[in-house]
């Protein structure tokens, strides 16, 4: 079985992974996109969106690495869109247009049922109503031995961390201070959960820190 990992997840120097007041114009909250400027400058990002150009270098290399050996994704409901409550219809299909950048099955935990959404490029969104553990099991089955990538948002990552279900994380620490928002590690003791850093890379526009579970840890962090 492959790993369950978080990859190229951007946080601020003060530990926030998103800002408040998410809406259609601000998918990650006000100023949230500042976290991702390191990624948006890369050739990998531009190619994903059908654009030419983009920077090469360390940031681009680690961005490319984050997509390697991924067989399925998990995205929280807020990552899929700003909608709340029951689905009024099937008109909302995500932020990414008809050809999302995932190209694998994507599992979205939600309290509200919705039929699978088949998109171009091999992406199908599956809406899972029976919990995060079920979403992970389904993603692992779909990944067929490859890795499952937990794409976010912050709440979903925190819940999988607390449950001891994440094997490895790559955090891209952007040189910004957000001051408020969703803090990735508030009240989580990563050392007690068994995590330790094993690699740090200084990129052009972010510092990339890789951590993994090296022992069982406890779930009472």
pLDDT of 189 reads 96
Is the model's pLDDT at 201 over the cut of 90?
Answer: yes
In percent, how much of the chain has pLDDT > 70? 96
Angle at 217 between CA 6 and CA 144, to 5 degrees: 40
Is the model's pLDDT at 76 over the cut of 50?
Answer: yes
Where residue 31 falls among pLDDT bands split at 50, 70, 90?
A: confident
Is the model's pLDDT at 219 over the cut of 60?
Answer: no
pLDDT of 19 reads 83
Average pLDDT over residues 163-186: 96
As given in the structure block, the two tokens for residue 62 are 């680690």
Average pLDDT over residues 51-61: 95
Is the model's pLDDT at 90 over the cut of 90?
Answer: no
How many CB atoms sit inside 10 A of residue 114's CB? 17
Is the model's pLDDT at 36 over the cut of 60?
Answer: yes
pLDDT of 59 reads 98
Distance CA 216, CA 219 (A): 9
pLDDT of 221 reads 41
pLDDT: which is higher, 45 or 89: 45
Is the model's pLDDT at 220 over the cut of 50?
Answer: no
pLDDT averaged over every residue in the chain: 92
- Residue reference for tokens 């259609």: 24
Average pLDDT over residues 123-144: 98
Cβ proximity of 186 and 220 under 8 Å: no
Asked, as a colleague might, if the bond just before 153 is cis with ω within 30 of 0, I would say yes
CB under 8 Å to 24, separation ≥6 — which residues?
82
Where residue 67 falls among pLDDT bands split at 50, 70, 90?
A: very high
Average pLDDT over residues 107-112: 96
DSSP notation for 43-69: HHHHHHTT----B-SHHHHHHHHTTTT
Closest by CA position to 170, among listed 215, 212, 107:
212
Closest by CA position to 185, among listed 13, 5, 70, 7:
13
Average pLDDT over residues 182-197: 95
pLDDT of 217 reads 61
Distance CA 38, CA 41 (A): 6
What domains can you pick out in the chain, each with its CATH number?
4-83+99-213 (3.40.430.10)
Cβ proximity of 35 and 199 under 8 Å: no
Where residue 26 falls among pLDDT bands split at 50, 70, 90?
A: confident
Is the model's pLDDT at 212 over the cut of 50?
Answer: yes
pLDDT of 9 reads 97
CA 14 vs CA 9, 93, 180: distances in Å: 14, 32, 9
């Amino acid at each position: 079985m492959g790993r369950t990992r978080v990859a190229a997840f951007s946080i601020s120097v003060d530990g926030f992974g998103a800002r408040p007041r998410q809406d259609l114009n601000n998918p990650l909250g006000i100023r949230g996109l500042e976290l991702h400027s390191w990624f948006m400058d890369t050739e990998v990002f531009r190619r994903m969106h059908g654009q030419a150009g983009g920077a090469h270098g360390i940031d681009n290399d680690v961005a490319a690495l984050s997509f390697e050996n991924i067989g399925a994704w998990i995205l929280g409901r807020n990552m899929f869109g700003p909608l709340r409550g029951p689905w009024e219809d099937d008109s909302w299909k995500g932020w990414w247009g008809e050809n999302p950048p995932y190209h694998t099955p994507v599992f979205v935990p939600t309290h509200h049922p919705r039929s699978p959404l088949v998109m171009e490029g091999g992406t199908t969104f599956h809406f899972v109503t029976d919990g995060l553990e079920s979403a992970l099991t389904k993603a692992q089955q779909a990944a067929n031995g490859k890795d499952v990538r937990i794409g976010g948002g912050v709440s979903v990552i925190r819940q999988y961390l607390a449950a001891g279900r994440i094997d490895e994380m790559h955090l891209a620490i952007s040189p910004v201070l957000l001051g408020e928002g969703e803090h990735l590690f508030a009240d989580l003791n990563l050392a007690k959960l068994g995590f330790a850093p094993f690699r740090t890379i200084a990129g052009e526009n972010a510092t990339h820190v890789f951590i993994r579970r090296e022992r069982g840890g406890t779930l009472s962090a």
